[in-house]
Chain A
Amino acid sequence: MNVKLSVSDLDLYYGDFQALKSVDLDMFEKEITAFIGPSGCGKSTLIKTLNRMNDLVEGCRIMGKVTLDGEDIYKDIEVSTLRKRVGMVFQKPNPFPMSVFDNVAFGPRTHGVKSKAELEEIVERSLRDAAIFDELKDRMKKSAMGLSGGQQQRLCIARALAVEPEVLLLDEPTSALDPISTSKIEELLASLKKDYTIVIVTHNMQQALRISDKTAFFLLGEVIEHGDTETIFSLPKDKRTEDYITGRFG
């Protein structure tokens, strides 16, 4: 397995507060890596760092290195190029207040695709990849705001896929969804894994177990333990990991 994203010796401060401490972590190509840990442990901060979403946060200072295919994302890659290569989906579905079609076509249009036929092809392919084309094919011109929460979230995944990223970052993508929508997203991620590198933050331990290949456990800004998901959840090495995943704290 090739390392797709690599974080080394990363420290991150919000003003005086150190949110990440000496983080070293590799994320492998075409695998799902899950970040788990109690609230405030730094997992969302790290996932945002992976496509430079922290850049505009006031007082945020980052030291250390994050690489994508060996290139430093803070030095060697333009932010717009990085965001095209590393897509992100958030906890709360955030469709734009426009039609289903325009939501998915938004990214490709921004990147200069003008041909209607080409846009139609991209939109259909992205919706199919996000396992929602059949549900939405007759509602392309309707507002995305009228979709259910689960549909909106899959639409947001389709929107992220439309610019053909290499990495998909998901920050608690199912925490606002019912169990059926959640299981659709989980199945979708399992099928997307063959083409994409996926990083997911989740508070749902069973979800991390079901879908991820690797798991990293965060506590107070540090990666306490990182490894194969099955090993972490059956035989964790660190007592703090054991205590967290068995519900003794957090």
Chain B
Amino acid sequence: MTARLAFDEQLKLLNSELTNMAAMVERAIEGAAVVVQEGDAEGAQKIIDSDGLINTQERDIERLCLKLLLQQQPVASDLRNISAALKMITDLERIGDQAADICEIVMNLPKAKRLLNIEHLPKMAKTTSSMVHCAIAAFVESDIEKVNAVLSMDDEVDALFDAARDEIVADIRQGGPNESEAMDFLMIAKYFERIGDHAENIAEWAEYSINGIHKGHQLYQG
């Protein structure tokens, strides 16, 4: 028996809008990886432009959440879902910014240097994109296993960052990039690593929506 058809419809809408936003962000991460590998200026511009769409999507979801808080005065799992969604979209939006930042760095490199041959960067991009997908799926499907999967993927990303940094240092020693370029390469690796951290945040809020625990702490203890 249910007495809240309209509210349930709006919660479904919230889930589908979040999934859409996550898909936009995943495309941005994967696109940034292609830009890094191929030095594609046109592709870079597309990702920078798509960041505006991600920002608009964030505003739309934020408005929906605030409307639900106002109209439904949610409690229990409804309160956890809506407040978690509000936190998650901030991280998704930041990931969009960072994908665009990566593209800007590549665009600002001299044309001949735009082909970054750092083996670990595509792996970082692939893993972080999976993390975002998995974190949102954890939320939508209330699946705690997926939360744990995201947390262990973040450890992989951290290890990949260390490996990418070692790779850049080795390239410098072999007379590869100059100081300024090396800094840019390291920044790109760091942005991917930060994207992993944001995806981890999203997974942590997904866990909160499922069981009320955030980073190992019960947020409500009276």
Q: Which residues of A contact B (CB under 8 A)?
A: 205-206, 209, 213, 227-231, 233-236, 241-242, 245-250
Contact = CB atoms under 8 A, between A and B. Distances in A.
Nearest to B78: A246
A240 B199 CA distance: 33
A206 B73 contact: yes
In this complex, the interface size class of chain B, counting residues with CB under 8 Å from chain A, is: 20 to 34
A236 B76 contact: yes
Contacts of B222: 213, 227-231
Q: Interface centre among A227, A231, A233, A234, by most B CB within 10 Å? A: A234
Nearest to B8: A248
B75 A234 contact: yes
Contacts of B212: 234-235
Q: Interface centre among A213, A229, A247, by most B CB within 10 Å? A: A247
Given A205-B75, A209-B75, A233-B75, A246 B219 contact: no
Given A229-B222, A230-B220, A247 B76 contact: no
Interface of B: 1-4, 7, 73-80, 211-212, 218-222
B3 A248 contact: yes
Contact of B76 (A213, A229, A235, A250): A235
Contacts of B219: 234
B63 to A, nearest CB: 22
Given A228-B221, A231-B222, A246-B76, 15 more contacts: A205-B75, A209-B75, A229-B222, A230-B220, A231-B221, A234-B80, A235-B212, A235-B220, A236-B76, A241-B76, A246-B74, A246-B77, A248-B4, A249-B1, A249-B2
A108 B73 CA distance: 43
A231 B75 contact: no
